[in-house]
Amino acid sequence: MAAAAAAGAGTNGNDAITRFLQDTGLMKNASENKLLNQVRDTASDLVMSAMNFLGVPYKRGGKSLESGFDCSGFTRHIFEMSVGLVLPHRADEQARLSSLIPIKQEELKPGDLVFFNTMKRTFSHVGIYVGDGKFIHSPRVGSAVRVEDLREAYWAKRFTGARRADLSAAQANADARNVQGQASLIR
């Protein structure tokens, strides 16, 4: 019964996700559910976790809800909390991480990391792609976590690349760590 209710909630336009997408202008009406379907596909837990932090203030060097987030602190927190993948705290180090696969902009899927040159250096800013040309990030001092459009002129000319995590490998590593932790408790 709960599964049927959950399935119906996504199609009738009355669930919280649909209302959020409509209220923020990411989806104009319930019949335009392309983004909604993308968000609920692969990596939906990661993207939905990120959406829970909308409005959290920017803080240089920040890496928690309590202190606020800088861009890379935000992506690091979301990936670790959602899929157990611990990323470095700097955007350029995240972009160069060997376990993240470089992808082309036209191949973006929800949950991919998107990188920008915002400080006259490649990979100086990072966000998480949410679908339909949009990404979520912690932009700058005086602002807060928000969703923006990659196609806006500012972001389009500063886009420097994208990376995709192998989420199945991250989950396997997290499961292995859990098993090791439980084994050490038994000893």
Which of these is catalytic: 76, 134, 137, 163? 137
Helix count (H) and strand count (E) of the chain? 8, 8
Is residue 137 flagged as an active site residue? yes
Which amino acid, one-letter code, is at 131?
G
125 phi and psi angles, rounded to 5 deg: -145, 145
Quick count: other Cβ atoms within 10 Å of Cβ 5?
Answer: 9
Give the residue among 30, 26, 28, 27 at the shortest CA–CA distance from 15.
30
- Cβ atoms of 53 and 74 closer than 8 Å: yes
Q: Give the Å distances, CA to CA, from 105 to 49, 129, 132, 181.
A: 23, 10, 12, 38
Is residue 89 flagged as an active site residue? no
Which of these is catalytic: 39, 43, 47, 71? 71
Is residue 77 flagged as an active site residue? no
Which of these is catalytic: 76, 125, 134, 163? 125
Give the dihedral sign, CA 40/170/128/143.
Answer: positive
Which amino acid, one-letter code, is at 102?
P
**Active-site residue numbers?**
71, 125, 137
